[in-house]
Structure 1
Amino acid sequence: MNSLPSQALSDSPDVGGCYQVGAQNSQGSVPEKAIKTESWGFSGGAVVKNLPANAGDRVRALVREDPTCRGATKPVGLGCSARQLAAHMALRGVYGRLLSRGPSLRVLRSWSSAATQTEKGGKTQSRSAKSSRPEFDWRDPLLLEEQLTADEILIRDTFRTYCQERLMPRILLANRNEVFHREIISEMGELGVLGPTIKGYGCAGVSSVAYGLLARELERVDSGYRSAMSVQSSLVMHPIYAYGSEEQQQKYLPRLAKGELLGCFGLTEPNHGSDPGSMETRARHNPSGRSYTLNGAKTWITNSPVADLFVVWARCEDSCIRGFLLEKGMRGLSAPKIEGKFSLRASATGMIIMDDVEVPEENVLPKASGLAGPFGCLNNARYGITWGVLGAAEFCLHTARQYTLDRIQFGVPLAKNQLIQKKLADMLTEITLGLHACLQLGRLKDQDKATPEMISLLKRNNCGKALDIARQARDMLGGNGISDEYHVIRHAMNLEAVNTYEGTHDIHALILGRAITGIQAFTASK
């Protein structure tokens, strides 16, 4: 694993959790003299190792800050066997090997809230319930944790461990060098988190809320990583599951779920972004050859340079838009990489070029006709984004909080200034409201009551608020805010793209405006 430079380690944020690796005393706590923080700068917690005693007062203060950060019990999931975990997520045997860290790993405090897991009922119980007077916990202001099921908590906590232990150490250099690690998709496949809401075909079949929690944990690390998972799950696996034939589902879904195949989704074109109905990509039917010939180009396509399977939307001779499954290696198909991105640098983005690509009839999605097909996929992906961006925002809040507590200016911590506290309060408010809205939307989605307008409302709101929070956090870190070692500038740059793709901020405003007024206003002349 790649660790951060010493400057980043010394200034890394206390973001609400600490992990102890190494020796414990008979009570299961860590001797205070043996504490030192080695942080990856993430919102999943600081890693506490049994290292020399000159660790610094801030780390000892980190443990003293919360008495529950010593000798607490493991949350469900981290000490479980692979078999127990598989019962909840339909995961494969490699799952346990991926996440197992042996008896030396002990979680001292969960990241997200004041809620703890009760062993008997499988429900969450607030720590403050032990006292007669409720206490406010800024890490979970409205007790989101208590609204989650035991399975959802298990899935989230297990995936969080993977994200922080396996992804966070990679992201700094991956972003600097503009490198996408293809093996991440295979690892996610081994964990069972690809196409997680799909039932059957090797998929986990979990709730929409669980899917949202996965997106939140992944984007807490990086929006590019979450984008790769979103495309695979919502834009490739979902259309095959929703619009494909049984033969297509059997052929592709199990391999996509395992991460053996990586897919991409081609809708946006060089001349048509927010107006996909004007697409220029054409599909000509060849009845004698039982095939279609595709010509055209797609651009800004996540995963395309490394994709094995391409879900492409094209206009047929009858003017109907249909979906096609193209495979890597088809003659006339190429996917050049787009270089020089300042955003989403850790994901692969490119084009799809089709020059007389022959696609057999059996590769047409039979249940998709018109723009309803691709829009159904986009709404599924947008739902995951509404959760994901708040993970990035949470990282920025926690980083800004700890930085302003540690940074001394004019003899006092920056956090003592009213302006700083007001900014932190604004951040916390927007994140809290956004998360509870996501939870409600997820429950409605599982009840088949969610509408595209609901998803547009939250995609627009949460992306915009997350971008504002990242920009504000960058400013609060001063000059250090532009250093990638603190990660905030990376989140800010990523969220610029996330605010644009899957429907821009303004396009979603027009969707909502149409719902409010009954008048479509996408063009001034119509």
Structure 2
Amino acid sequence: MAGTLEKIRQAYRLFKSIDFDQLNKLSRKVDLQKIMEGFSKLDDKQLKGLMKMMDGGGKKEKVLPEINADFYELHLRLSDEDRALQLKVREFMEREIKPIVNNYWLHDEFPYEVIPKFAELDVCGLTYQGYGCPGKSFLMEGIIAMEMGRVDASIATFFGVQSGLAMGSIYGCGSEEQKQEWLPGMQQFKTIGAFGLTEPEVGSGAAGGLTVTAQRTADGWVLNGQKKWIGNAPFADVTVIWAKDLGDGEVKGFLVRKGTPGFNVEKIKGKMALRIVQNGLITLENCVVEEKDRLQNANSFRDTARVLQMTRAGVAWMAVGCARGAYENALDYTRRRKQFGRPIASFQLIQNHLVEMLSNLTAMQSLVFRLSELQDQGLLKDEHASLAKVFCSLRTRDIVSRAREVMGGNGILLEHNVARFVADAEAIYSYEGTKEINSLIVGRAITGFSAFV
């Protein structure tokens, strides 16, 4: 009797899941009393089968783990305030940049309409004290570079040139008057800056081989020569130009204002990477710069190198962001893409690629986290920044390659948000010092011998 009652209870639960209208319609078609009697005659196996059938076959949607590229939970070492800032930048990039980035990248154009929105984040010149700057840690500066690179490396590069190279040159090498004139407007993106060091024939050899010259005259300084690959240059309001002083042979810095006679910029076209970044070829023809626009505390390439050391750490973080974006998009794709009736993420070879990607990414994140801690403690050396740039840019190439591979042919389509990372990783690999140059910096530090020519 007890078994029969339990079966009737189960049957009741079945019918209870049917709403009144459905039950009313059902009663017109079948004898519900006979159905209830029939339930009492079913054995346990038959009843379980019926319950499974009524429950949609017993199949429930699999709950997948959250996509978490911070596998070692490094964010737990941040304060609540810093974590909130990280998530604020992430939300901004997801909302404002991600929906438009593929189109702008494809057409080699810059989304100028987002520049005022960057000011609202209040993260430009993050580590500087005063002049409207937030005065936060180098660690947070790196995390913000990662968050921007996670969505798009071009936007991260634009921001890095503005906040790091251009503002950093003025903050580190400018007079108090120059800082007051330029930094507050640059912090709010009312003034856009560029950084002119690389030349058509001089990249890695900038320390001693600059061909752009500066000659002292009664009217100030006359600059002549060319600079190449200068990010933001086609639309910058001020460009930092590094030139060799013909008087003493030392490298000096100059603030060249937009519209200065003899200062011409041509946009570089045909790039396969960082296509949103507007790079310029600058030609200086008897360009006169007043003495007040010479960076007053930039007297040798050592001063230039201090700026590069500071920003090189940011490039390592940007490489982490590029790798993280590729990994997250690839992981998401493999969980949705089905072949042979199953998500491809369930296959062993795909999982092996994903784990290799995550392993490299986790090592990169741990390295740059410690790098920025050294920077905040005043212990950062050239070799520290160079090792991070070498390792992270090299591992990023491997991660984006695997991300494209697990996506098959779809990996080369912009719509799947990995093809951009594959291309942009090539630019990150080379700029702010090639792998070879940065390797020699580290090699010199650990062996005591300089292998530079």
Relative to the length of structure 2, the TM-score reads: 0.84
After the TM superposition, which of the residue ranges 258-267 and 186-195 deviates more from structure 2?
A: 186-195
Normalized per residue, the structure richer in helix is 2
**Displacement, 1:323?**
0.4
Q: State the alpha-carbon separation in 1 of the partners of residues 396 and 61 from structure 2.
A: 29
**Displacement, 1:410?**
3.1
SS of the equivalent of 1:297 reads: strand
The percentage of aligned residue pairs carrying the same residue is 36
Q: State the alpha-carbon separation in 1 of the partners of residues 381 and 136 from structure 2.
A: 20
The residue type paired with residue 421 of structure 2 is: H
Counterpart position of 1:319: 249
After the TM superposition, which of the residue ranges 272-281 and 417-426 deviates more from structure 2?
A: 417-426
TM-superposition CA deviations, 1:27-76 (whole Å, max 9, x none): xxxxxxxxxxxxxxxxxxxxxxxxxxxxxxxxx958x436xxxxxxxxxx
TM-superposition CA deviations, 1:55-100 (whole Å, max 9, x none): xxxxx958x436xxxxxxxxxxxxxxxxxxxxxxxxxxxxxxxxxx
Counterpart position of 1:293: 222
> Does 2:209 match 1:278?
yes
SS of the equivalent of 2:296 reads: coil
The residue type paired with residue 281 of structure 1 is: V
> Does 2:64 match 1:65?
yes
Counterpart position of 1:151: 81
- 1:250-399 to structure 2, matched below 5 A, reads 250-276=180-206, 277-286=208-217, 288-289=218-219, 291-317=220-246, 318-399=248-329
**Displacement, 1:411?**
3.6
Q: State the alpha-carbon separation in 1 of the partners of residues 156 and 194 from structure 2.
A: 14
SS of the equivalent of 1:474 reads: helix
Q: State the alpha-carbon separation in 2 of the partners of residues 428 and 446 from structure 1.
A: 27
Q: State the alpha-carbon separation in 2 of the partners of residues 326 and 446 from structure 1.
A: 31
TM-superposition CA deviations, 1:453-512 (whole Å, max 9, x none): 101001111111111100111111111011010121111101100110000111111111
RMSD: 1.5
Counterpart position of 1:410: 340
Kept in 1, the 8 Å contact 2:400–2:418? The answer is yes
The residue type paired with residue 519 of structure 1 is: F
> Does 2:70 match 1:140?
yes
**Displacement, 1:183?**
3.4
- Name which one, 1 or 2, has greater alpha-carbon Rg: 2
**Displacement, 1:221?**
1.2
Kept in 2, the 8 Å contact 1:405–1:414? The answer is yes
Counterpart position of 2:170: 240
Q: State the alpha-carbon separation in 2 of the partners of residues 298 and 405 from structure 1.
A: 46
**Displacement, 1:381?**
1.5
Q: State the alpha-carbon separation in 1 of the partners of residues 70 and 242 from structure 2.
A: 42
Alignment gaps of 5+ in structure 1: 1-59, 67-108, 113-138
**Displacement, 1:407?**
2.4
Counterpart position of 1:439: 369
After the TM superposition, which of the residue ranges 402-411 and 493-502 deviates more from structure 2?
A: 402-411
The residue type paired with residue 349 of structure 2 is: L
SS of the equivalent of 1:155 reads: helix
Counterpart position of 2:399: 469
Q: State the alpha-carbon separation in 2 of the partners of residues 245 and 411 from structure 1.
A: 67
**Displacement, 1:374?**
1.8
Counterpart position of 2:9: none
TM-superposition CA deviations, 1:212-271 (whole Å, max 9, x none): 111111111111100111011111111111110010000000000010111110110011
SS of the equivalent of 2:266 reads: coil
Kept in 1, the 8 Å contact 2:149–2:325? The answer is no
Kept in 2, the 8 Å contact 1:281–1:296? The answer is yes
**Displacement, 1:325?**
0.4
Q: State the alpha-carbon separation in 2 of the partners of residues 176 and 446 from structure 1.
A: 38
SS of the equivalent of 2:311 reads: helix
Corresponding pairs, count: 392
Kept in 2, the 8 Å contact 1:264–1:304? The answer is yes
Counterpart position of 1:81: none
SS of the equivalent of 1:294 reads: strand
SS of the equivalent of 1:353 reads: strand
**Displacement, 1:386?**
1.3
Q: State the alpha-carbon separation in 1 of the partners of residues 325 and 160 from structure 2.
A: 20
Q: State the alpha-carbon separation in 1 of the partners of residues 191 and 112 from structure 2.
A: 10
SS of the equivalent of 2:214 reads: strand
Kept in 1, the 8 Å contact 2:172–2:307? The answer is no
Relative to the length of structure 1, the TM-score reads: 0.72
TM-superposition CA deviations, 1:99-121 (whole Å, max 9, x none): xxxxxxxxxx8x75xxxxxxxxx
Alignment gaps of 5+ in structure 2: 1-59
Kept in 1, the 8 Å contact 2:96–2:114? The answer is no
**Displacement, 1:140?**
3.3
> Does 2:146 match 1:222?
no
Of 120, 139, 145 in structure 2, the residue corresponding to residue 190 of structure 1 is 120
The residue type paired with residue 150 of structure 2 is: R
Q: State the alpha-carbon separation in 2 of the partners of residues 301 and 370 from structure 1.
A: 21
